[in-house]
Amino acid sequence: MDLDQGWSPAVRARAREAGFGSRMLPYRWLRHLEQAGRREPFLAPAHLQALGFILQAPSPGNPDGLPVGMTLTRATRRQPDAWAGLGCAACHTGELRHGGQRIRVDGGQGWLDFTAFERAVIDSLSATAQNPVVFERFADALQTPAGQRESLRAALVERASALEARHRLNASDVAYGPGRLDAFGQIFNTVAVEVLGVPGNRRPPDAPVSYPVLWSAPHLDLVQWNGSAPNAGPGPLIQNVTTALAVYGHARVPSRGPGYASDVDFKQLGRLQDDLYHLTAPAWPEATLGALDSERIARGKPLYDTHCAACHAPIDARDPRRRPRAVLTPLADVGTDPRMVRNFLDADARTGPLQGKRARVVAGAPFGERARSIDLVAHVAIGVALRHPLASVRDTVRGYHRVAKASLDTHPDYYKARPLDGVWASAPYLHNGSVPTLDALLRPAAERPAYFQVGHGEFDPQAVGVATAMAGGWRFDATVPGNLNSGHEYGTTLDEAQRRDLLEYLKSL
């Protein structure tokens, strides 16, 4: 079931289907691909579900019933064949299960196991190329004439090795599991290694973070878990271009003319951005998860005001003009796992072909031999955005250095506190997803579970969050650096009754 989050059914459908130019493999292939070692379609519902995709029925915009966020490129004259890839909704749509019901949460944390999905695609492509029986079945399904089968096989091998190279580039000692990805670590590698063509720039992306919830994000002044990205001016466009490059996008650097050529679909990105602006937090569905207790909520509110509101200021989540502010909290104060923010600050790389180019393409000092990885990413994203079809947008992109200045040039070690509207639906908690429930977050770190199962989707309405007693899913290990569940010890000295009151209030946000 869907909750009311300010989107009409039509907007909801297009947001779940919209692609931004992500090109992982030709869709014709994907349709006929089998799972590696099994005579079962790759797109079999059970297989997709095991990888963390949310299934959906066919619709006019999605006639083959692809899962939420598995997207196709739009046909162009130069590239008439659609490619399959991932859209925003693959990571940013949640599904909670309770009492046999499934609750869809648009803009919520998805369970996609990014690493497992990538691995499965590579293994299927390789198995198809290597196993003659599987290959013939595949080529028959594609109706490939005999004379073209060897080139089909070569194309499979080529695609598998390109994806394998990307997969190895992003190998990490800290496994991501469902619902997480080291987004900055991977985009740093995409830009510094792949786009610039400098293999020595590789850094392990070993600080996976949760897919954050997106309602209210477009209204915030700063986004990303460390608050490093400004939302002013062309900020969202630059962020979206960055994402598009990270998620099987391509940019050609350097390329002729102003800015850099890419496969980014600006039209779709613009529409997605507009749609996201109207998305609101889901309200606790009392019919499915149980009635809220108004007396407890009334007692919880002053506790919230005392212990939480200084950093998580309450907002009117339905006000279309809300302007929530992210409260940047120093690492030394919040005390959560430092790795994400440290990697972000420490990463630098050889500039290769960008040496001598201005840091913000049309502004800033020229790059020397090395630069901070985030500046290289910003440079490439600005360059790509300078190819936006609208002149007015290109003009705002030229001014990006002004809004980016404060956050990118002098960004110290912070995590951001965001408004908590819809927080009941965004478990597991903290940037690294290390705390399964709100109840656990309101206890001292030493009392939070060191291990729990995640990705099964089962919701616990009492503790509010991931049902930890489930057998299925993936085992989260909060003792591994990168996964630590330390810090954020706010409201952790409340007594049992107070904690329940505060929890009830949080459910109502």
Residues that bind ligand HEC (CB under 6 A): 20, 86, 88, 90-92, 114, 181, 183-184, 209, 211-212, 214, 217, 223-225, 240, 243-244, 247, 269, 272, 307-308, 310-312, 329, 333-334, 336, 415-418, 420, 423, 426, 429-431, 438, 441, 488, 490-491, 506
CB within 8 A of 301, min separation 6: which ones?
A: 505
How far, in Å, CA of 114 to CA of 208, rounded?
11
* Shortest spacing between CB 88 and ligand HEC, in angstroms: 3
SS3 344: helix
Tokens of 437: 């429930």
Question: Quick one: 195 or 207, whose CB is closer to ligand HEC?
Answer: 207
Angle value at C-alpha 223, between 222 and 226, nearest 5 degrees: 100
* Shortest spacing between CB 111 and ligand HEC, in angstroms: 11
Q: How many C-beta neighbours within 10 Å does residue 165 have?
A: 14
Question: Quick one: 131 or 335, whose CB is closer to ligand HEC?
Answer: 335
SS3 481: coil
How far, in Å, CA of 230 to CA of 372, rounded?
18
How far, in Å, CA of 87 to CA of 252, rounded?
21
SS3 234: coil
Question: Quick one: 245 or 371, whose CB is closer to ligand HEC?
Answer: 245
How far, in Å, CA of 324 to CA of 314, rounded?
9
Give φ, ψ of 94 to 5 degrees.
Answer: -100, 160
What is the DSSP secondary structure assignment for residue 145, as one 8-state letter?
A: -
Question: Quick one: 282 or 364, whose CB is closer to ligand HEC?
Answer: 282
Query: Taking a C-beta distance cutoff of 8 angstroms, is the pair 248, 23 a contact?
Result: yes
Distance set, CA 102 to CA 9, 58, 379 (Å): 17, 18, 42
Query: Taking a C-beta distance cutoff of 8 angstroms, is the pair 432, 337 a contact?
Result: yes
Question: Quick one: 364 or 419, whose CB is closer to ligand HEC?
Answer: 419
* Shortest spacing between CB 231 and ligand HEC, in angstroms: 8
* Shortest spacing between CB 387 and ligand HEC, in angstroms: 17
Q: What angle, rounded to 10 degrees, do the helices at 235-246 and 266-277 form?
A: 120
* Shortest spacing between CB 138 and ligand HEC, in angstroms: 27
Q: Which of 388, 338, 99 is nearest to 209 (CA)?
A: 338
How far, in Å, CA of 192 to CA of 246, rounded?
12
Question: Quick one: 115 or 128, whose CB is closer to ligand HEC?
Answer: 115
* Shortest spacing between CB 97 and ligand HEC, in angstroms: 20
| Helices of type H across 215-265 | 235-246
How far out from the chain centre does Cα 55 lie? 18
Question: Quick one: 137 or 301, whose CB is closer to ligand HEC?
Answer: 301
Query: Taking a C-beta distance cutoff of 8 angstroms, is the pair 374, 347 a contact?
Result: yes
* Shortest spacing between CB 228 and ligand HEC, in angstroms: 8
Question: Quick one: 86 or 347, whose CB is closer to ligand HEC?
Answer: 86
Question: Quick one: 12 or 92, whose CB is closer to ligand HEC?
Answer: 92
* Shortest spacing between CB 128 and ligand HEC, in angstroms: 24
What is the DSSP secondary structure assignment for residue 42, as one 8-state letter?
A: T
Residue the block writes with tokens 């196709």: 72
Question: Quick one: 29 or 225, whose CB is closer to ligand HEC?
Answer: 225
Question: Quick one: 367 or 452, whose CB is closer to ligand HEC?
Answer: 452
Q: How many C-beta neighbours within 10 Å does residue 503 have?
A: 24
* Shortest spacing between CB 441 and ligand HEC, in angstroms: 6
* Shortest spacing between CB 136 and ligand HEC, in angstroms: 34
* Shortest spacing between CB 256 and ligand HEC, in angstroms: 27
Tokens of 239: 């962020």
